[in-house]
Amino acid sequence: MTAVTRLVQAALDTLRNPREGARKVMALDLPRRARWDILMLIAIVSAGFAYLSFALNARLGNLVPGTELMSPFMMAVAQILVLWMMVYAIYLVGRAMGGTGSLDDTILLVAWMQGILIGLQVLQIIAALVFPLASVLLGFAGFIILFWLLTVFTAELHGFRSTAAVFFSVLIVMVVLSTILRAVFSMFGYSIVGVI
């Protein structure tokens, strides 16, 4: 079994049982620097696929009128900021609510979640070439999976049993982060559509 095959299988196993997937990720023994490096690499790869997807949709005329494409560099910067803020939001808000999760485990869980979403990005790009409607549906599926994994991962990380309470907390935090980032990037003339 190749490394890629193992990763795909691990991603599918996580989607079937996110709590178990989270436990396996948290069991990894890696230094903090390596965890941040993994997160940075995944952010850059994700930004690359996001740029490719938007460039393809722009070429096919599938973008909403008025939507401007960010440069690959700015998209990578935005993606890194989003994941960095997500790590600290999940960690600090969770701890404030009585959670017991560590920063190190939070870094890996956010990286793994984004890694799984990269798989969806690849499927979206393929779908855009073959059946554009499927690409749109995969985009919606990506949002659902994002919030689902964020909720379950956060609950498992901090030892929370109620996923409903965690979901609403995650929703509020994501809306706040999204609003802040959109405001900051808009001041410099950038739109972060496709990043969050």
**Domains in the chain, number:** 1
- For residue 148, count CB atoms less than 10 angstroms from its CB and return exposed for 0-12, middle for 13-18, buried for 19 or more: middle
Report the chain's mean pLDDT, rounded to a whole number. 86
Whether residue 194 is contained in a domain is answered as no
Q: What is the pLDDT of residues 114-172, one digit of tens each?
A: 999 999 888 888 887 888 777 778 888 888 998 999 999 999 999 998 888 888 888 88
Domain membership of residue 193 (yes or no) is no
* Residue of 102, 85, 93, 88 lying closest to 22 (CA atoms): 102
In a domain, 196, yes or no: no
Average pLDDT over residues 173-177: 83
Classify residue 151: in a domain, yes or no: yes
Residue 108 predicted with pLDDT over 90 = yes
Model pTM score: 0.89
Confidence (pLDDT) at 149: 94
30 found inside a domain: yes
> To which H or E segment does residue 39 belong?
helix 32-60
180, part of any domain: yes
Is the per-residue pLDDT at 3 higher than 80? Answer: no
- Tally of CB atoms within 10 A around 96: 9
Q: Which of 79, 118, 101 is nearest to 153 (CA)?
A: 101
Amino acid making up residue 45: V
> What residues make up the domain containing 15?
3-187
